[in-house]
Structure 1
Amino acid sequence: MGGVMDDDQRYRAVHSRDARFDGVFYTAVRTTGIYCRPSCPAVTPKRANTRFYPTAAAAQEAGFRACKRCRPDLTPGSPEWNLRADVVGRAMRLIQDGAVDRGGVGALASAVGYSERQLNRLLTAEVGAGPLALARTERVQTARVLVETTDMPMADVAFASGFASVRQFNETMRAVFDRSPTEMRAMRRTPVGEPGTVTLRLPYREPIDLARMLRFLGDRAVPGVEEYRDGVYRRTLSLPHGPATVELSEGAGSGHVLCRLRLSESRDLADAVRRCRRLLDLDADPRAVTEVLGGDPLLGPMVAEHPGMRSPGHVDPAELAVRAVLGQQVSVRAARTLAGRLVERFGEPLSTGPDGGLTHVFPSPDVLADADPTDLSIPVARGRALVGLAGAIASGRVDLGPGCDRDEAERSMMELRGIGPWTAGYVRMRGLGDPDVFLHGDLGVQQALGAGGGRDTLAWSPWRSYVTHLLWASLVRTREELA
């Protein structure tokens, strides 16, 4: 949040109940044994009794329980993990993606090139908790959503959340929340939706230009996979245990996005939520972005006109990579049409049948790797680039996973025939969630920069992805004024 904070600065944020720091750090009170978000409305504790932790997992490991009033587990994630490209940042993204639940700590350590002992030492030193504790916190958050928003039997909630047993589930929930799952369900305030549907609120740091972001996604919506109508964006998801659909819109009031998920398997809930958060860049820190860009002579007016500008990500980097190739040297509308044809031909129909305009999940790299590049309704050279990229992703030669090395991913993409700097950079910016990508060769960016196109962009780091979107937004506004 604009630099490393010391404990005195953190305490001042707590004293002023500054919600911008929710999720960036957690405050614990020694005399009560409770940890809170910085904006907790309770009486500010004495400085001598206050401890600060970088993650909820660290506070839990130190023996503190979650506050029942401010519910610190329901905060935006820290923007630090998208920003950092080091081992800790990559490991945190993998843990949030469920890597420990899928393959254990050994697989996590191997993915980032460290031993289990080295990785545990690094994470404990940096974030105050090891991989198992961090993964446990992810499981607890998923379980709380299922307890409070569904009527699923508690045993199903336990296993869907990743717990090894009902007993472990009950003990962990009581330790973290000081309530049993049954008591939490009895006190819930969220109405239960129709069977198979989970409705939840995705928190963010204000401000946010959500309407513009949903419109950005809607303008690029691929027929059959996505649709946008009356400010509501919907799409299909391909999740580990089956397909799903999601609906995203502005929530009543402020501070959250309304998210409605229809899942094939409840155990895919955490994965679906993470993908939606990445799609909408909900863990961003708009204050830090404004501090860097707001004073720039060129960008300052754009920042003021578009407060809360985000850098939209994507739910599936592989899908985005294929769509980026389809979009080479064509308009956004033409790219949508081409992608729609690809979906109709190679996509997997929803097993539950059409849901409004949603009919298919986007074709997987495995399927596209076997396609005939001369029979894709696009120039043969681009068809070969698409099939080659899909094959490289399917084989693992190009790694676009949440814990990948972004530099290596970009390099490996550009080694493929037909993949240039724009395509690789676009995938890095949106698919991999890198906040510091500037698309120098993008025609729209060059048009928006005008005579300033040759300037050094280093002063805009580490938020150059936001600059790219600001420049695109300025072009849209100019076209609207001329229309």
Structure 2
Amino acid sequence: MSVFRQPHHPRRRTLEHVMDEDTRYEAVRSRDARFDGEFFFAVETTGIYCRPSCPAVTPKRHNVRFYATAAAAQGSGFRACRRCRPDAVPGSADWNARADVVGRAMRLIGDGVVDREGVVGLADRLGYSARQVQRQLTAELGAGPVALARAQRAHTARVLLQTTGLPVTEIAFASGFASVRQFNDTVREIYAATPSALRAAARTTRRAATPTAGIPLRLAHRGPYRSGAVFDLLESEAVPGVEEVSGAPGRRTYRRTLRLPHGTGIVAVRERPGTTRTTSGSHPGGWLDAQLHLTDPRDLTTAVGRLRRLLDLDADPYAVDERLAEDTRLAPLVAARPGLRSPGAADPEECAVRALVGRSESERLVRRHGKTLDAPCGSLTHLFPEPAALSEEAGPLGTLATALADGTVRLDPGADRDEAQHALLALPGVDARTVAVIRTRALGDPDVAPPGLDAPDTWRPWRSYAWQHLRTAGELE
């Protein structure tokens, strides 16, 4: 038995192993937080749906129904549990790992594409008809793109109601709802409370932030999270004017600027020294504290999604560590750093440019082409330049920037990773190592082999994490 799989718990689901309903029920019975976000369960006698780790009394098996998404549970008429808040769990690791249309669609929905462009826009980005996308998502997840986006809007609305002092009317439209009536009806249906009641309940436990204080967030993750290694990497790469890392190790704060669909943002994320173990020795998961300052609250969903990808918060450390620990070279590294993440990017196009030119040249580009913030915040003064602003640069940089600007190379959350790689390799001056970094970071691919290393197939489908282990241990540059 792997050291990462605790006794008396159901076998961890990996990409090769799909849980049946009896195994899911065992996860619910044992309140196994490792499965939070991987599936949801609903109780027919109460009309409530929960996360697997809900602390309430375990319902009888014949009263339980299982769903792949919160949207599917909501679509079947169940409302969210007020005790375990199933809408606040980490996302399923499958959406980052999968390269098929369902995985790509879920990444785009998480980025807010349906709210901004509708189902037709989502389908166009995927290269399918709207009917095909609807059919595939409904068949596999029990909910179509509209229902999935609606569940996301409801979660955004709850966060804004409970953490800000924004007027309810503004929150309705900031969350992506088309009308105040639609907003009120959805909140009542999902949370069994009016928007005002949700806000009032939150005030008994926390003070709502003022607009100048930003939006406080707890960014959930499952299992152990090696925040020190993530913050080390962010600090080593930080581009002045766009990013900064302050504080001593273990208590650092990472801050950066964001270009978003409706405006700009500044985010601050605090390092968390470690994850507390339970008495059984398992890691229940935890969160990173963050603060978001947005010029337009409609960008909340998108900003959170991009931050989660940057920090790799939706990963499944149990599946990753269990697989890599079977390798004799990696086993001691995994044992030393359980829960090591493979960071992504807050802005894929920015990441591609930085992977090509390096940190020093990126700083020059910010000074020369970056847009100055209307309200600079300390050392954060600029947005990283858009590709169009760099297209006149000479050499490979100008070529890459032009390809990004005209869509020859697509790096958005729904991009086809293989197509993006082929397009990048066709550009003069863009070598295989740079493409590997872009595929790992900008496209969030968990299975990219370390450049120049003959990675065994036994590392699949987590070769990007093997790369991080080797790099963190000093065995690779």
8 Å Cα contact 1:221/1:228 also seen in 2: yes
- Taking the TM superposition and a 5 Å limit, the aligned residue runs for 1:361-380 are 361-371=383-393, 373=394
Tell me the distance in 1 between the aligned counterparts of 2:118 and 2:332.
48
Tell me the distance in 2 between the aligned counterparts of 1:214 and 1:349.
25
**Counterpart residue number, 1:308:** 339
Measured after TM superposition, the shift of residue 440 of structure 1 is 2.3
**Counterpart residue number, 1:216:** 233
Tell me the distance in 2 between the aligned counterparts of 1:355 and 1:212.
26
3-state SS of paired residue (1:69): coil
Measured after TM superposition, the shift of residue 370 of structure 1 is 2.6
**Counterpart residue number, 1:81:** 95
Structure 1 segments (4+ residues) deviating >4 Å: 251-254
**Counterpart residue number, 1:291:** 322
**Counterpart residue number, 1:241:** 262
**Counterpart residue number, 1:388:** 399
Measured after TM superposition, the shift of residue 251 of structure 1 is 5.3
**Counterpart residue number, 2:10:** none
8 Å Cα contact 1:201/1:251 also seen in 2: no
- Taking the TM superposition and a 5 Å limit, the aligned residue runs for 1:52-63 are 52-63=66-77
8 Å Cα contact 1:309/1:470 also seen in 2: yes
Q: Deviations over 1:374-421 (max 9, x none)?
A: xxxxxxxxxx11111010000011111111100000100110001111
Measured after TM superposition, the shift of residue 438 of structure 1 is 1.2
For 1:217, give the aligned amino acid. L
**Counterpart residue number, 1:29:** 43
Tell me the distance in 2 between the aligned counterparts of 1:344 and 1:115.
43
For 1:473, give the aligned amino acid. T
Q: Deviations over 1:316-366 (max 9, x none)?
A: 110011001113xxxxxxxx22211111111011111x2121111100001
3-state SS of paired residue (2:92): coil
Tell me the distance in 2 between the aligned counterparts of 1:22 and 1:256.
13
**Counterpart residue number, 1:428:** 439
**Counterpart residue number, 1:350:** 373
Q: Deviations over 1:26-56 (max 9, x none)?
A: 0100111100000000000000000000000
Does structure 1 residue 191 correspond to structure 2 residue 168?
Answer: no
Does structure 1 residue 281 correspond to structure 2 residue 312?
Answer: yes
Tell me the distance in 2 between the aligned counterparts of 1:260 and 1:345.
29
Measured after TM superposition, the shift of residue 253 of structure 1 is 8.7
Does structure 1 residue 321 correspond to structure 2 residue 321?
Answer: no
For 2:419, give the aligned amino acid. E
**Counterpart residue number, 2:469:** 470
Tell me the distance in 2 between the aligned counterparts of 1:216 and 1:118.
40
TM-score w.r.t. the length of structure 1 is 0.90
8 Å Cα contact 2:217/2:291 also seen in 1: yes
Does structure 1 residue 114 correspond to structure 2 residue 136?
Answer: no
8 Å Cα contact 1:224/1:357 also seen in 2: yes
Tell me the distance in 2 between the aligned counterparts of 1:355 and 1:107.
35
8 Å Cα contact 1:106/1:116 also seen in 2: yes
For 2:313, give the aligned amino acid. L
**Counterpart residue number, 2:281:** none
8 Å Cα contact 1:250/1:256 also seen in 2: no
**Counterpart residue number, 2:20:** 6
For 1:369, give the aligned amino acid. S
Alpha-carbon spacing, 1:252–1:465, altered in 2? closer, same or farther (3 Å): closer
Tell me the distance in 2 between the aligned counterparts of 1:216 and 1:293.
21
**Counterpart residue number, 1:419:** 430
Aligned pair count reads 446
Tell me the distance in 1 between the aligned counterparts of 2:261 and 2:308.
17
Q: Does 343-352 or 100-109 show the bigger shift?
A: 100-109
For 1:411, give the aligned amino acid. H
Tell me the distance in 2 between the aligned counterparts of 1:252 and 1:211.
7
Tell me the distance in 2 between the aligned counterparts of 1:277 and 1:95.
14
Query: Between the two proteins, what is the percent identity of the paired residues?
Result: 55
Measured after TM superposition, the shift of residue 113 of structure 1 is 2.0
Q: Which has the higher contact order (CA 8 A, sep 6+)?
A: 2
3-state SS of paired residue (2:225): coil
- 2:151 pairs with one of 111, 114, 137: 137
Measured after TM superposition, the shift of residue 314 of structure 1 is 0.6
Tell me the distance in 2 between the aligned counterparts of 1:355 and 1:74.
29
For 1:337, give the aligned amino acid. S
For 1:210, give the aligned amino acid. S
**Counterpart residue number, 2:296:** 265
- 1:38 pairs with one of 43, 46, 52: 52
For 2:472, give the aligned amino acid. A
Measured after TM superposition, the shift of residue 262 of structure 1 is 0.8
Tell me the distance in 1 between the aligned counterparts of 2:63 and 2:437.
47
- 1:206 pairs with one of 223, 241, 248: 223
3-state SS of paired residue (1:200): strand
Does structure 1 residue 152 correspond to structure 2 residue 166?
Answer: yes
**Counterpart residue number, 1:337:** 360
- Stretches of structure 1 lacking an aligned partner (at least 5 in a row): 328-335, 374-383, 442-452
8 Å Cα contact 2:227/2:274 also seen in 1: no
8 Å Cα contact 1:426/1:439 also seen in 2: no
8 Å Cα contact 2:48/2:81 also seen in 1: yes
For 2:422, give the aligned amino acid. R
8 Å Cα contact 1:14/1:38 also seen in 2: yes
3-state SS of paired residue (2:156): helix
**Counterpart residue number, 2:412:** 401
8 Å Cα contact 2:238/2:245 also seen in 1: yes
Q: Does 317-326 or 94-103 show the bigger shift?
A: 94-103
**Counterpart residue number, 1:377:** none
Measured after TM superposition, the shift of residue 252 of structure 1 is 9.2
Tell me the distance in 2 between the aligned counterparts of 1:126 and 1:59.
13
- Stretches of structure 2 lacking an aligned partner (at least 5 in a row): 1-12, 276-285
Measured after TM superposition, the shift of residue 119 of structure 1 is 1.4
Does structure 1 residue 128 correspond to structure 2 residue 150?
Answer: no
8 Å Cα contact 2:165/2:210 also seen in 1: no
Tell me the distance in 2 between the aligned counterparts of 1:228 and 1:276.
15
For 1:338, give the aligned amino acid. E
TM-score w.r.t. the length of structure 2 is 0.91
Alpha-carbon spacing, 1:282–1:357, altered in 2? closer, same or farther (3 Å): same
